[in-house]
Amino acid sequence: MLAAISIISGPSSQALAGRVARALGSRLADVDFFRFPDGEQYLRVPDVGAHSVIIQSTPTDSDYISLLQLIDACDRAEKIDVVIPYFGYARQDRRFLDGEAVSSRALAGAITADRVFTINIHNRNVLSHFDAEATDLDAAPVVGERIAAMGLTHPMIVAPDEGAIDLVRSASEHLGVDFDHLEKTRLSGEDVLIKRKKMDVSGRDVVLMDDMISTGGTITEAAQVLRENGANRVFSACIHPVLARNAALRLFASGIEDIVATDTLDRSVGVVSVANLIADGIRRDR
C-alpha cells in the first residue's frame, strides 16, 4: 500500500504548498519556525508523515538553511520528496573565472532525499549534482495558456536571449502563437545590452518571456527594442518572479503592462499556479 502523503511547507512556499496539498488531497503538516536572538533559525515538524513532500523555494540563504532543516526534521519518514520550485544560485552553474565556487553544485550536493523536483531550473545540468533522482518540471506551457487567454492582438512571445528560446518555444507550442528571440550581452548584475534587431512585431502585442526576472534590466532593455520595431502593447512573463529590489517598479515604469508569473515565488504579480504540475510529478512512480 502507498504511504499517505504529508505536505511539509517551508517558509518561502506556503501558498504554493497549500495549493499542492489541495491538488493531491493530502494533509498539510504543521511546521514551527522561529529565530533565536542571535539570528539562528529554529524549525520543528512535530508530526512527520511516512511519505513527506517538502516544498521550499530557496531565493535567500536563510531559505536554503530552512530547507536543510526541513530535510533533517523529516529523517524518520520512509520516503522524502523535496520540491524546490525556485532553486537559488542555479545561475552559478559553472566556473566562469578561475577559483570560483560552482555554487549550484555545492548547494545541490548537500540535499539528501529520495526524489528532488525543480521547476524550470536555470540550467538542467545542475540536476546531475543532486544525489537523488532529480526531475525538472516545465511550467512554460501553463504560462503559455495564460498568455493565450489574455485576448492579445496578433500576439508573439519573445525571449530576450537565445538561452530562453526553448522556454518560449515550450510556451507557444500547441497555442499557434509565434515566437522569436533577441540577443543579450550582460554588462553587470543590473545592466544588459540587447542587440538592435529587426523583428516582425509592428502593431502586435508582444510578451517578453524569460525563466526569471531578477532586477528587471533584461526585460526593460528588450522592451525598448520591441518598441523601436513598432510593437503595440508589451507584457512580460516569467516562471520565477525573483523581482529583486525595485524590479517591479522598474518594469511598470518602463511601460510593461503586466507581469505574468508562476507561484514558485510568492510575489504580488499575476499568478499562474504550478501546483498541478508538482502534484502530477509527485504522483508519478510513487
State which of residues 214, 236, 262, 264 lies at the interface with ligand R5P (CB under 6 A).
214
Return the bridge partners of 115, or none: 81, 133
Give the CA dihedral 186, 146, 200, 227, nearest 10 degrees.
-60
Kindly state whether residue 155 participates in binding ligand R5P, applying the rule CB under 6 A. Answer: no
Kindly state whether residue 49 participates in binding ligand R5P, applying the rule CB under 6 A. Answer: no
Residue with cell 518561502: 12
- Closer to ligand R5P by Cβ: residue 86 or 117: 86
Selected catalytic residue, list 184, 195, 197, 198:
184
- Closer to ligand R5P by Cβ: residue 8 or 167: 167
Amino acid sitting at position 222: A
Q: Which of residues 170-209 bind ligand R5P (CB under 6 A)?
A: 192
Kindly state whether residue 213 participates in binding ligand R5P, applying the rule CB under 6 A. Answer: yes
Q: Mask: binding to ligand R5P, 157-176, rule CB under 6 A, as x and -?
A: ------x-------------
Q: Where are the alpha helices (DSSP H) in 29-139?
A: 61-73, 103-109
Q: Least Å distance between CB 238 and ligand R5P?
A: 8
Instruction: Please tell me the distance from the alpha carbon of residue 23 to that of residue 276, in angstroms, as a whole number.
Output: 6
Kindly state whether residue 263 participates in binding ligand R5P, applying the rule CB under 6 A. Answer: no
Return the bridge partners of 28, or none: 7
- Closer to ligand R5P by Cβ: residue 76 or 186: 186
- Closer to ligand R5P by Cβ: residue 59 or 217: 217
* Other C-beta atoms lying within 10 Å of the C-beta of residue 253: 11
Instruction: Please tell me the distance from the alpha carbon of residue 243 to that of residue 229, in angstroms, as a whole number.
Output: 26
Q: Which of residues 23-42 bind ligand R5P (CB under 6 A)?
A: none
Of 194-202, 213-221, 253-261, 271-279, the window that binds ligand R5P (rule: CB under 6 A) is: 213-221
- Closer to ligand R5P by Cβ: residue 31 or 269: 269
Kindly state whether residue 217 participates in binding ligand R5P, applying the rule CB under 6 A. Answer: yes
Return the bridge partners of 116, or none: 82, 134
Instruction: Please tell me the distance from the alpha carbon of residue 51 to that of residue 78, in angstroms, as a whole number.
Output: 6
Return the bridge partners of 157, or none: 179, 207
State which of residues 63, 205, 210, 263 lies at the interface with ligand R5P (CB under 6 A).
210
C-alpha closest to that of 275 among 64, 87, 86, 22: 22
Kindly state whether residue 236 participates in binding ligand R5P, applying the rule CB under 6 A. Answer: no
- Residue 153 — φ and ψ, nearest 5°? -85, 115
Residue with cell 518594469: 251
Site size with ligand R5P, rule: CB under 6 A: 12
Kindly state whether residue 215 participates in binding ligand R5P, applying the rule CB under 6 A. Answer: yes
- ∠ CA 271-273-277, nearest 5°, is 155
79 is catalytic: no
Q: Which residues are catalytic?
A: 184
List of residues contacting ligand R5P (CB under 6 A): 91, 163, 192, 210-218
